[in-house]
């Protein structure tokens, strides 16, 4: 498996989701796997692909607080993206099941975090995976996700389309998830505070440093020749075309 590496700093919610969608299309076309690490230009409330959002979250309240709203192409539940390093992995499906590729990527993330000095581990099985309800993503860790103690540090989800997959998730630098309660149309159940890199390291790392650790993990465990990926004309055009979908209320509030 040939890997490419991409760090894109901060973009808007629509731009971030559109680029991930373009990378998904690229994976099917090229057969390459890309690890992208990025940030957010503004606080963003994102919904999982099949999560119910209408009547659960309040778009007007989000706008009043300067929070962008978007629906992800992957599944899972609501996340407040702000002070975090977000990752995405796109690649060909090959012969790996969803569970196998999910586990492989999470072990890669675990290696990268340990290179930063974070004592994370994989969460053990705790019953069935939660349904895509209106509850926050970081409320409960699911099997294979990355935790510190009993608290979730990384929330991830994967989506497959034809012969390619996209997995992405949030690596929290600070815990901004409590803001979800202020954006909810009705009260949310109390949740265990999330683990954060700032808490575990004693300082807030720069997202670029998180990216460097993850890229080192790729070169060590997957592809020693993994090279940077340039945002060429084909990729930026595909992202621009995909942006219309993620900017549409018909998509964001479709459920």
Is 117 in the active site? no
**Looking at residue 137, what is its pLDDT?**
58
Average pLDDT over residues 181-186: 93
- The overall average pLDDT reported for the chain is 91
Using DSSP, state whether 227 is helix, strand or coil: strand
Domain ranges of the chain: 3-252
Residue 31: Cβ-neighbour burial (10 angstroms; 0-12, 13-18, 19+):
middle
Best mean pLDDT range from 109-118, 131-140, 188-197: 109-118
- The pLDDT tens digits for 131-154 are 555 556 565 666 778 999 889 999
R_g (Cα) of the chain, nearest Å? 17
- CATH class of segment(s) 3-252: alpha beta
Quote the Cα angle for 212-144-189, to 5°.
Answer: 105
Catalytic residue among 116, 137, 166, 235: 137
**Looking at residue 149, what is its pLDDT?**
87
């Amino acid at each position: 498996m040939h890997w490419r590496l991409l760090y894109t700093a901060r973009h808007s919610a629509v731009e971030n989701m559109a680029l991930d969608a373009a990378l998904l299309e690229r994976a099917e076309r090229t057969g390459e796997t890309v690890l992208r690490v990025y940030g957010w230009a503004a606080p963003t409330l994102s919904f999982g692909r099949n999560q119910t959002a209408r009547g659960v979250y309040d778009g007007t309240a989000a706008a009043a607080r300067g929070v962008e709203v978007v629906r992800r192409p992957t599944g899972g539940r609501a996340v407040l993206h702000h002070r975090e390093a977000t990752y995405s992995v796109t690649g060909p499906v090959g012969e790996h099941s969803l569970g196998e590729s999910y586990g492989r990527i999470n072990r890669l993330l675990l290696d990268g975090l340990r290179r930063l000095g974070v004592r994370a581990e994989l969460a053990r099985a705790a019953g069935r995976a939660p349904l895509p309800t209106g509850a926050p993503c970081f409320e409960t860790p699911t099997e294979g996700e990355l935790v510190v103690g009993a608290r979730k540090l990384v929330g991830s989800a994967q989506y497959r389309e034809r012969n390619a997959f996209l997995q992405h998730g949030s690596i929290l630098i600070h815990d901004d998830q409590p803001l979800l309660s202020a954006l909810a149309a009705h009260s949310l159940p109390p949740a265990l505070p999330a683990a954060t890199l700032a808490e575990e390291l004693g300082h807030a790392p720069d997202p670029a440093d998180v990216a460097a650790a993850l890229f080192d993990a790729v070169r060590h465990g997957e592809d020693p020749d993994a090279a940077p990926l340039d945002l060429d004309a084909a990729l930026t055009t595909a992202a621009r075309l995909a942006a219309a979908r993620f900017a549409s209320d018909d998509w964001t509030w479709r459920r």
